[in-house]
Structure 1
Amino acid sequence: MARILIQGGVVLPMTSRSAIGRGDVYVEDGIIAGIFPGSAPERLFGPDLQVIDARNKAVLPGLVNAHTHAAMTLFRSYADDLPLMRWLNEKIWPAEANLTGDDVYWGTQLAAAEMLKSGTTVFADMYFFMDRVAEAVAESGMRGHLSRGMISVAGEANGNKGLRESEALFSDWNKGADGRIRVWLGPHAPYTCNPDYLKKVMALADRLGTGLHIHLAETRTEVENITKQYGQSPIRLMDSIGLFERPVLAAHCVHLSEVEEEILAAKKVAVAHNPESNMKLASGIAPVESLRRRQVVIGLGTDGASSNNNLDLIEEMRQAALLQKVNLFDPTAMPAYAVLEMATIGGARALGWDDAIGSLEAGKRADIIVVNMDQPHLCPDFDPVAHLVYSARGSDVETVLVDGQVLVRDGKLVRMNEKRIMEEARARAIRLTTPQA
């Protein structure tokens, strides 16, 4: 039975605004067994106890990336400075047509390495060849909230294939990797999935007892086109067909009316906010502060590395805070603790996983990160929460545990071969993006 004591750190449990100050976190057999202000009792010590020195460091829950397309690391910096639909139609979708399962496996390995080293312990992913994504997640030691991307506009056969493969993914991998993988369904968006197809997806979700991960109201063009086609905005359309009557993780939600914000709140739709991707693609600024006031559950996501261009959720926190402040001309908007909540317990709630992760509490799974605060850019140490949001970097993460297993030690990956992963990713990215003769 593995026993770990994370000793002497500033513990941020994310159960209240205040840190407990210097404290110890005791982990036993993958579970947080105790959090002790000051020092843990000596009865816990023994020859088989692994001690992690957290002095001058912050100890907090692992970060939750609430929306990404992990294997799109293979397209990082391939198609920059383009509007969304040109980016998709002219660059991304043609390159994705050449993807193989092996490509997706190695792209996901690269994403997992990057996310772990910057403190992310779980990610919500929507892509293709999701069985290979699940394999990569299982091998990395991370958690994965996985959805096979589903599209109906490419034809009935393609839509039905998405339904079959999603059901198979659920059967093969839901609660797999010792419970570290959960499977939802992933209808891509209203502009790629018509209402009749979405009703089939909803029926499958109900039969399986799972939720839906979907892109909604990401761009002004999307809202205009959907409204023209169906007489309703994307949010109203999804509400009218009953999509929100089950757990839904809605990525983006940038263009919303006040009534639509109220719909999301009333139907308990969780929103995955992706500020850097929204800025880079000039999609707009999501009304996150307004949604937060309406008590909408909000998680923080990076989107794919091809539209960000990194998966550093610590950097994403800073941008999320600053973007709302400047947009609202209000320096009090999106305070640091609210942003840290989005990246931890908020993200866990958005994924329906807050029963097990997202905060440091006795009985929860031991997904924990240790951040080195003893550095010039984090000095003096007035407020560890503010430092994490406004001053920290992904490279400040020193130790990462998932399920009580140490996956990053002294800033280095423990079980993943970083050099091999990067070599594979480089070769596959070149093949995918080189025009065929």
Structure 2
Amino acid sequence: MTLQPARRYYAPIVLPMDASCSVVRDGVVDVGADGRVAYCGPRTDAPPSNGQAVTQLTGILMPGLVNAHAHSAMTPLRGAGGDLPLMSWLNDVIWPAEARMRPEDAYAGMLLGCVEMLQHGVTTSAEMYLHAEAVVQAALTAGSRILMAPAYFDLPGAHWQSAVARIDKWIDADGMQFGPGDRIELCYGPHSAYTLPVEALRATAESASARGALVHIHVAESLSEDQKQRAAHGSVPRLLEETGLLKGRLLAAHSVHLSVHDIRLLADYGAGVAHCPGSNAKLASGVAGLTALRAASVSVGLGTDGPASNDDLDLWEEMRIAMMLARVTTEDPMALTAPAALMMATRGGAAALGRKDIGALCPGTWADMVHVGVDGPSFAAGLNVPDEQLIANLVWAAGSRAVRSVWVAGEQVIADGQPLRVDLVRARRAVARAASHLLSQ
């Protein structure tokens, strides 16, 4: 990778997103030339400066957010079939449009999706989509970090065997992580238990286990989608256990309709869950049992799902929706607090993906950082307030509108809210052309 000059960042507030969600006042973050954090903590405890460049920030410096489940290349399909339930939306609108998708359409959609996420402070996203090479190239162009799971199904003309073999070959050739700052991680993307035969799930488990790769799969998103699998195996998590998928790294997206036994299975095997409250609410898929998952110590991150089912890529909005749904379904205002929601969007998302090098600022993690401005009305009370109030103002009131600058692996990719690597006007025009092609039928 291209080395960046070592740099020291000063900020009135630093949120390392450690296990206690501590607030460091008058903080310092040192970033090495390798793009990793060398020190994060109070100025009074910082090591002596070794001549590195210095950046003095106002406001808050924190880790980049981790979007645990997304199909960000769907930006050309935003708004299409927006008032349909999940299966009608997929079968009648989305899948026919995606059948017409070309690599250049996926590239355009992903490039704009990456910029949108970066402008919202989302530095990492777990992507499942088609045309994986184009999606990866778009992420590298924008400077984003992604976990890429090429999606595969058992459909006419779509042979899952060749899809699994292609992922095997790609990982074996390029490694599981590659690109500047290891921005790309390759994963397996079996779409779901209801779009693939049992033998495809077994083959995926074998290939992923041999390489230590993550398997990213939709699980129990709606009640109607997997009735045959439930009848034959008891539940989708039980099927995942039977096929060996739970024995390796597994990310279960959505996980809305789970029994107590299902949750216990996920917990016992250490599977991660991507909670997508906004998409699930819009598509009337249901409300996931977040409090039960967290009580069972399942690693839960937050996901936006795709920009055609949400319809944005704003993880701050997912924090607020998750808190409100958890509270109203349990009638408990403490069911999900602002610090807990922020943890899910950072450290928790990383844990759900099986990653320890993102989602926090501590020695050795990648310097994926977000600078939050505090000059808006959300912080009118100032920064000299109790820690709980400060985080509440950040999560409940400020959100993505307060994001000012963003770094990935120590490289600045957003400055004053604008992308540094992408011509935004050209990117939007490319998505308009893609949308015209995909939705003109």
Q: TM-score, normalised by structure 2?
A: 0.93
Tell me, in whole angstroms, the C-alpha distance in 2 between the residues paired with 1:394 and 1:416.
19
Question: Residue deviations 1:388-429, cap 9 Å, x none?
Answer: 221123121111111100111111111111111101001111
Residue 107 of structure 2 is aligned with which of 72, 82, 105?
Answer: 105
**Matched residue of 1:17: which SS?**
coil
**Matched residue of 1:22: which SS?**
strand
Which residue identity is paired with 2:108?
W
Question: Residue deviations 1:190-227, cap 9 Å, x none?
Answer: 00011111111112112333121000010011243422
**Matched residue of 1:272: which SS?**
strand
Q: Does 1:263 align with 2:269?
A: no
- Counterparts of 1:88-127 in structure 2 under 5 Å? 88-127=90-129
Tell me, in whole angstroms, the C-alpha distance in 2 between the residues paired with 1:322 and 1:151.
34
Tell me, in whole angstroms, the C-alpha distance in 2 between the residues paired with 1:159 and 1:36.
48
**Matched residue of 1:392: which SS?**
helix
Structure 2 unmatched runs, 5+: none
Q: TM-score, normalised by structure 1?
A: 0.94
Q: CA deviation at 1:242?
A: 2.1
Q: CA deviation at 1:332?
A: 0.7
Paired positions, count: 429
Q: Which residue of 1 aligns with 2:276?
A: 274
Q: CA deviation at 1:83?
A: 0.5
Tell me, in whole angstroms, the C-alpha distance in 1 between the residues paired with 2:337 and 2:31.
31
Tell me, in whole angstroms, the C-alpha distance in 2 between the residues paired with 1:233 and 1:358.
31
Q: Which residue of 1 aligns with 2:397?
A: 391
Aligned-residue Cα RMSD (Å) equals 1.7
Tell me, in whole angstroms, the C-alpha distance in 2 between the residues paired with 1:232 and 1:41.
55
Which residue identity is paired with 2:230?
T
Tell me, in whole angstroms, the C-alpha distance in 2 between the residues paired with 1:138 and 1:147.
15
Seq. identity, %? 37
Question: Residue deviations 1:145-183, cap 9 Å, x none?
Answer: 00010112446x622231233224323463221311111
Which residue identity is paired with 1:3?
A
Q: Which residue of 2 aligns with 1:411?
A: 417
Q: Which residue of 2 aligns with 1:19?
A: 23
- Counterparts of 1:319-358 in structure 2 under 5 Å? 319-354=321-356, 356-358=357-359
Q: CA deviation at 1:240?
A: 2.2
Q: CA deviation at 1:74?
A: 1.1
Tell me, in whole angstroms, the C-alpha distance in 2 between the residues paired with 1:366 and 1:17.
18
- Counterparts of 1:2-401 in structure 2 under 5 Å? 2-15=5-18, 16-29=20-33, 30-38=35-43, 43-44=48-49, 46=51, 49-51=53-55, 53-55=56-58, 57-154=59-156, 158-170=159-171, 171-172=173-174, 174-178=176-180, 179-228=182-231, 230-354=232-356, 356-381=357-382, 382=385, 383-401=389-407
Q: CA deviation at 1:43?
A: 4.5
**Matched residue of 1:365: which SS?**
coil
Q: CA deviation at 1:126?
A: 0.4
Which residue identity is paired with 1:220?
L
Structure 1, 345-354 or 275-284: larger mean CA deviation = 345-354
Residue 432 of structure 2 is aligned with which of 423, 426, 432?
Answer: 426
Which residue identity is paired with 1:182?
E
Residues 42 and 161 of structure 1: CA distance in aligned 2, closer, same or farther (over 3 Å): closer
Tell me, in whole angstroms, the C-alpha distance in 2 between the residues paired with 1:232 and 1:410.
51
Tell me, in whole angstroms, the C-alpha distance in 2 between the residues paired with 1:260 and 1:41.
46
CA contact (8 A) 2:235 2:262 kept: no
**Matched residue of 2:407: which SS?**
strand
Structure 1, 284-293 or 159-168: larger mean CA deviation = 159-168
Which residue identity is paired with 1:372?
G
Structure 1 unmatched runs, 5+: none
CA contact (8 A) 1:223 1:255 kept: no
CA contact (8 A) 1:8 1:39 kept: no
Tell me, in whole angstroms, the C-alpha distance in 1 between the residues paired with 2:147 and 2:354.
10
CA contact (8 A) 2:28 2:46 kept: no
Which residue identity is paired with 2:162?
K
Question: Residue deviations 1:297-327, cap 9 Å, x none?
Answer: 0111000000000001111111111110011
CA contact (8 A) 1:142 1:180 kept: yes
Tell me, in whole angstroms, the C-alpha distance in 2 between the residues paired with 1:117 and 1:320.
21
Structure 1, 161-170 or 269-278: larger mean CA deviation = 161-170
**Matched residue of 2:188: which SS?**
strand
